[in-house]
A and B are shown apart, each in its own frame.
Chain A
Amino acid sequence: MNSLIPEDPVSLVLAAEDCAPSEFEALHVFTPADDNTLSKLVAHGPVLLRGGRGTGKSALMIEAARRLAPESKESTGWGVYISLRHLELLRSRGDAYEKFLCSLIIRQLEETVESFSSEGLDPSVPTLQRALTGIYSETGKRIVLFFDDAAHIGREASLQEFFDIFRTISSSVVSCKAAIYPGVTKFGSRFDVYNDATVVDVSRNEELPGYPEIFSSIISARYPTVPDTCFSGVLSKIAIGGILAQSVLGNMRAFVFACNLLFESAGNKPIGLPAIQQTMLSLSSNYFWPLLDELRPKLGMYEPLIEPAQRIATVLYEHAAQSGSRKSVLVHRDVVERLAKLFEILEYVGFISRREASRAMKSGGRGARYALNLCALLEQVPGARLTQELYAQWASPDKLEPVQFHKTGSHFSEFKLPDLSAEKDLGIFQLSISYLGKSKAYPYGLTEAKMQILEEAGFSTIGELAEASDGRLLALPSVGQATLQRFRNVLGQAVWM
């Protein structure tokens, strides 16, 4: 039906960093608001790009790099995109971390700047600084380093090293840009977030004018062959783009997932509220809730926080549904401060999105306002039905006060956090490789045939597979470059965020 809904819909859901360069342009659409973020990324100066999972950080960084040399030959800067999805970076500290990170940067510089050779360079910060200055002197172009997956929520020990190096190599000709998550709060003692970088939040806010139109244009660009009949019913393309995007809090990956589900089930028929309802409920149970399970083994010392995060989400949604299905909540700042990590986890997986850090509460005091994921909210609405009235309420600008959770006497006042042990290795490495099979938690997982190849070769844990060299994997039967890349992509999604 649609050339952009492939036989294996997984390829559309995979993250931008796993997308082949030749397909990147066709599969990614950037809005005027994205252009504003992109201008900060291509400009000189350090930037931290902060956003939850699937918000499009990687796509923005890759696109920014593409707008610089060598892709854009006229540009005054080199764009060097560096994925930091490497086991060594998660497991090393101090000098070992510095050495590995510097070698990664040098290797990527060599791939990006044709005239640059790394021969004879030892991977250290001073050498790297000299190399970067040398590239500027020789080519007359500044250098922009894009660090993707720079910070792992479950492994904070190496963050100090990373941000030290980020700060040290930034100069009048070198700008560093790093993608981080809302839960990343430890930057080391020498890095001042606001003085040493500009923080740019990647968030698409349904409260701003033009929001449905943006997502409608994304539908047009990514699904050009969806027939017009689909948009000829009570819901126009703009209305569908608006409600779907709002349902997933503007999360780009979830939006694509939602569109895939909706258009596959719609066929040529006009899309109405029942189809939207079905898509939303399916997303809630098959995408968002499983994401919390997927996240658990990646959290390291924060693993025990998954259960309380699930409970908090349930409380938020139940209460909002009982209070007129209001689509935002206002939580007293003392509660948010005390349970900060839980709210960060929920924000990371896309259950909530912070719209205001401080707003006056009726009971006195101030609180943080979060927009709610409408898919999870719909599940809690009596009958789980998206009626005309409910659609009209959700699709219009929010006139209802957010549901308020006060400091005392609210559902959270008695909420206790579990004790957290000191830094520990990520649980994901000890899990069986069967965990990487396609499932609700891993919609992009490996097929049974590929799992069998690995099992027959004696791989039993994800850690073993992660440590295997390319050579060892390529020596397996029926494994060529494409399958190797598939293994690496799935591993990347499983281990990183």
Chain B
Amino acid sequence: MLVLKQMRKLVNQTTTCFEWLKDQPDQQAAFLGPYLARSLLEVAMSAIVARCDPFRVLIVREIQASAHYSAGERVKAALQWQGDILPPKDSPELWSIDKEPEKFSRSLLGPYYEHLYWTPAFQRMVDEIEIGRGGAWLSDFRTWGIAGAMKRIRAEVGKLYCTFSKGVHHEILLERVVMFDRLSMASYAADALKHISLIALASHLAPQVHASLPLDAALAAFEKTQETVLL
């Protein structure tokens, strides 16, 4: 629970920074927006990883608490976007008997989670949540189809992360205020929150996931997030 509390704190800090950023001049908003947006994606998805696969984050916590840990050295077991969140690449044959256990990717948005967790949770989302609840985000999700939903979320989240990274790594030599202007950043941030929220809502309908909320509470949080974004 300590890990989750820490992650919750990080999510709150990031969203507070976003609020602050709205009132800053264009140059600062374009400079800091991608950092914050990428942080939000990373920390929110990591929090869901922690609830889906506590073992994974507890290992990281223990490494960080150990005497061997040094902030100046790379930790091979640290959470990685490519691997822990997005799958390294699509595995054509999911259930091959020749596959080594470590080859079964545990990426949050990968094909195994999709099959075992998300597809059943998405079905519950559309079948059990009353029509009209969940606002425009859930209404839109209902039109995607269960089979294609994760492919779509994976593609959108991957594109958003890639876009934000371009603002973090300084590889873009174009004017930041053009590439990450307010109009674009607002749209990107809304999209990021939408996809995070959809996965988060589904996570409360997957029985394997820890620290789940009752559906009503999860749905209310989903709707509240959406109202904030669409204001």
A39 in complex: contacting residue of B151, B155, B186, CB < 8 Å: B186
B178 in complex: contacting residue of A142, A358, A366, A397, CB < 8 Å: A142
Known: A194-B156, A208-B136. A357 touches B174 (CB 8 A): no
Known: A140-B178, A360-B127. A194 touches B152 (CB 8 A): yes
Give, as a whole number of angstroms, the nearest-CB distance from A480 to chain B: 40
Bound-complex Cα distance A172 to B166 (A): 10
Contact present for A358 and B151 (CB under 8 Å): no
Bound-complex Cα distance A73 to B158 (A): 33
Binds A, one of B15-23, B138-146, B196-204: B138-146
Give, as a whole number of angstroms, the nearest-CB distance from A319 to chain B: 20
A140 in complex: contacting residue of B139, B140, B175, CB < 8 Å: B175
Q: Which residues of A contact B63 (CB under 8 A)?
A: none
Interface string of A339-362 (1 = CB under 8 A from B): 000000000000000111111100
Interface string of B146-166 (1 = CB under 8 A from A): 111001100110110001001
Q: Which residues of B contact A359 (CB under 8 A)?
A: 126-127, 142
Q: Which residues of B contact A227 (CB under 8 A)?
A: none
B172 within 8 Å of A (CB atoms): yes
Contact present for B145 and A358 (CB under 8 Å): yes
Bound-complex Cα distance A32 to B181 (A): 21
Contact present for A207 and B126 (CB under 8 Å): no
B151's nearest neighbour on chain A, judged by CB, is A194
Q: Which residues of B contact A141 (CB under 8 A)?
A: 178
B10 within 8 Å of A (CB atoms): no
A421 within 8 Å of B (CB atoms): no
A239 within 8 Å of B (CB atoms): no
B184 within 8 Å of A (CB atoms): yes
Interface string of B162-200 (1 = CB under 8 A from A): 010010000010110111010110111011000000000
On chain B, which size bracket covers the interface? Answer: 35 or more
A369's nearest neighbour on chain B, judged by CB, is B142
Bound-complex Cα distance A207 to B139 (A): 8
Bound-complex Cα distance A203 to B131 (A): 16
Contact present for A43 and B178 (CB under 8 Å): no
Which of B126, B131, B155 neighbours the largest number of chain A CB atoms within 10 Å of its CB? B131
Q: Which residues of A contact B183 (CB under 8 A)?
A: 39, 42-43, 75-77
Q: Which residues of B contact A136 (CB under 8 A)?
A: 174, 178
A205 in complex: contacting residue of B139, B144, B188, B230, CB < 8 Å: B139
B124's nearest neighbour on chain A, judged by CB, is A360
B155 in complex: contacting residue of A42, A140, A195, A205, CB < 8 Å: A195
A318 within 8 Å of B (CB atoms): no
Bound-complex Cα distance A397 to B131 (A): 9
B135 within 8 Å of A (CB atoms): yes
Contact present for A45 and B163 (CB under 8 Å): yes
Give, as a whole number of angstroms, the nearest-CB distance from B153 to chain A: 9
Q: Which residues of A contact B143 (CB under 8 A)?
A: 201, 203, 354-357
B146 in complex: contacting residue of A45, A142, A172, A358, CB < 8 Å: A358
User: How many residues on A have C-beta within 8 angstroms of the other chain's C-beta atoms?
Assistant: 38
Contact present for A36 and B190 (CB under 8 Å): yes
Bound-complex Cα distance A173 to B177 (A): 12
B123 within 8 Å of A (CB atoms): yes
A285 within 8 Å of B (CB atoms): no
A221 within 8 Å of B (CB atoms): no
Contact present for A36 and B142 (CB under 8 Å): no
B132 within 8 Å of A (CB atoms): yes
Interface string of A112-152 (1 = CB under 8 A from B): 00000000000000000000000010001110000000000
Known: A356-B142, A357-B142. A32 touches B230 (CB 8 A): yes
Bound-complex Cα distance A141 to B179 (A): 9
Q: Which residues of A contact B159 (CB under 8 A)?
A: 45, 195, 198
A194 in complex: contacting residue of B155, B184, B186, CB < 8 Å: B155
Q: Which residues of A contact B186 (CB under 8 A)?
A: 39, 43
B132 in complex: contacting residue of A43, A201, A207, A356, CB < 8 Å: A207
Q: Which residues of B contact A298 (CB under 8 A)?
A: none
Contact present for A357 and B144 (CB under 8 Å): yes
Contact present for A358 and B147 (CB under 8 Å): yes
Known: A42-B187, A355-B143, A358-B123. 5 other contacts (CB 8 A): A142-B179, A172-B166, A195-B158, A358-B147, A397-B132
Closest 3 CB pairs of A and B: A357-B145, A43-B187, A43-B184
Which residues of B are at the interface with A, using a C-beta cutoff of 8 A?
Answer: 123, 126-127, 131-132, 135-136, 139-140, 142-148, 151-152, 155-156, 158-159, 163, 166, 172, 174-175, 177-179, 181, 183-184, 186-188, 190-191, 230
Which residues of A are at the interface with B, using a C-beta cutoff of 8 A?
Answer: 32-33, 36, 39-40, 42-45, 75-77, 136, 140-142, 172-173, 192, 194-195, 198, 201, 203, 205, 207-209, 354-360, 366, 397-398
Q: Would you give 24 A-B contacts (Cβ < 8 Å), ordered by A? A: A39-B186, A39-B190, A40-B187, A42-B183, A43-B186, A43-B187, A136-B174, A141-B178, A142-B179, A172-B174, A173-B179, A195-B159, A198-B191, A201-B140, A201-B143, A203-B143, A205-B136, A207-B139, A357-B143, A357-B146, A358-B126, A359-B127, A360-B123, A397-B131
